Amino acid sequence: MNMTFTQQAETPPAAGSAADAGADPALPVLQLVGVSKRFDGFTAVDDISLDIREGEFLTIVGPSGSGKTTLLRMLAGLEQPSSGNITLRGTLINDLPARARPTCLVFQSLALFPHMSVGRNIEFPLKAKGVAAAARRARALELLKMVRLPEDYYGKNVMKCSGGERQRVALARAFAYDPDVLFFDEPLSALDYKLKKLLEKELKDLHKESGKTFVYITHSLEEAMVMSDRIGVMRAGKLVQVGSPEAIYGAPANRFVAEFVGEVNVFPVSRGDGGWVIGETGEPVRVALPEQMAGARQAAVVVRPEYMRFLEAPGDADNVVRGTVYNEYSLGSRMQYQIRSKHRVFLVEMSRAQTRAGDGKGEVLIGWNAEDAIVVEA
């Protein structure tokens, strides 16, 4: 794939590629220090500090209203931070308008120009840069190929394209601007599952091939897991945790992240005289406390359903619960069981290939080992 674009040199250096600038890959391309955004009396983004690394695929996830769109709009230059600093390779860009930033936002609505053909849509950023018509056309055809659309789509009415095709047009248009950083505001949220999966993979490929920095926001952690190098989890305007997908999944910083990652068993524990007990019931429980929480007296224990096991005998696991199977769900390749014990409901998941101990609807023993549980701040 030919990603070079010679006309670039004629225009002011709004978007010089990372390689041209000789940027240190260790240096963040975008850096946020204590960035907040307040709208009369409401804090949408609350004191966020974050380094966005050169060439990474960073996904910000969070429930709706967590401030992730506002954060992205500040990065793109469509909003100004109320306080804090945003720097681009060391230059303060707080008040630099969107048009002067080497970044480009793919809107949730895609914001395709409905009165223009596919070709004219893709050429728009080039026209804004003053590229000649013939060169614009040549580049647009190249980009159509890149996003796997046939060349004869050039003259097609963009409103006559299907949802997936529109995604590709929006992507080609963003690439026409040749930004260093691409922002995505949940562009796949309106698509059906299969198409979404396909486009997620294509986007990931495109990220690898182009070497550009991608910052993606979504409320779907599943989407984030598939595509990202790093994931940032937002809640109520704050960045709760940033890390690799493995770190987010395997070592959630707190109960919110743990629960956001998927269905989990969570319960509060506290340190009693004779060791740890489950908060409400006082049943003893074995807890492997991480070092940084050595002195804690309260914590939350998170046990993923796949670490819960059906037991043959009470001695087979550190912690054992007696209960009855009261629901079972097929999750495709896996089965999920809801086990009702005296005080709460536990989720147990296992592969279909496995057979569980204690068949039937009667009383079962389930349990988990202390080291398989994640202990987070309560």
Per CB under 8 A, the list member of 27, 159, 198, 288 interacting with another protein is 159
Binding status of residue 37 toward another protein by CB under 8 A? no
140 interacts with another protein by CB under 8 A: no
User: 208, exposed or middle or buried, with CB in 10 Å at 0-12, 13-18, 19+?
Assistant: exposed
Least distance to another protein from the beta carbon of 87, Å? 19
CB of 327 to another protein, least distance (A): 44
CA 27 – CA 31 distance, rounded (Å): 9
The amino acid that residue 228 corresponds to is: S
Looking at the Cβ atoms of 110 and 269, the one nearer to another protein is: 110
Per-residue x/- marks for another protein, 66-105, CB under 8 A?
A: ----------xxx------------------xxxx--xxx
With CB under 8 A as the contact rule, which of the stretches 1-9, 58-66, 107-115, 363-371 interacts with another protein?
107-115
68: left (phi over 0), alpha (psi -120 to 50) or beta: alpha
CA 163/CA 192 separation, integer angstroms: 9
Instruction: Enumerate residues 14-33 that contact another protein by CB under 8 A.
Output: 14
Q: How far apart are CA 13 and CA 101, in angstroms?
A: 10
In the set 27, 111, 138, 331, which binds another protein (CB under 8 A)? 111
Tell me which of 25, 127, 155, 314 binds another protein, using CB under 8 A. 127
Q: Is 113 in the site for another protein (CB under 8 A)?
A: yes
The number of residues that bind another protein (CB under 8 A) is: 25
Closer to another protein by Cβ: residue 70 or 319: 70
> How many CB atoms neighbour CB 126 within 10 A?
25
Stretch that binds another protein, among 46-54, 106-114, 189-197, 331-339 (CB under 8 A): 106-114
Query: CB-wise, 124 or 368, nearer to another protein?
Result: 124
How far apart (Å, rounded) are the C-alpha atoms in residues 84 and 67?
A: 16
CB of 15 to another protein, least distance (A): 9
Q: Per-residue x/- mask for another protein, residues 285 to 324, rule CB under 8 A?
A: ----------------------------------------
Q: Shortest gap between Cβ of 11 and another protein (angstroms)?
A: 9
Residue nearer to another protein on the CB measure, 68 or 173: 173
Q: Which is nearer to another protein, 160 or 352 (CB)?
A: 160
Shortest gap between Cβ of 153 and another protein (angstroms)?
19
The least distance separating another protein from the CB of residue 244, rounded to whole angstroms, comes to: 30
Please, which residue, 104 or 375, has the CB nearer to another protein? Answer: 104
Q: Parallel, antiparallel, or unpaired for β 213-218 and 181-185?
A: parallel
What does the alpha-carbon distance between residue 36 and residue 237 come to, in Å, rounded to a whole number?
8
CB of 131 to another protein, least distance (A): 11
Least distance in Å: CB of 263 to another protein? 35
**189 makes contact with another protein (CB under 8 A):** no
Q: In the complex, what is the shortest distance from the CB of residue 98 to another protein, in angstroms, rounded to a whole number?
A: 4
109 is a site residue for another protein (CB under 8 A): yes
Residues that bind another protein (CB under 8 A): 14, 76-78, 97-100, 103-105, 107, 109, 111, 113-115, 124-125, 127-129, 159, 173, 177
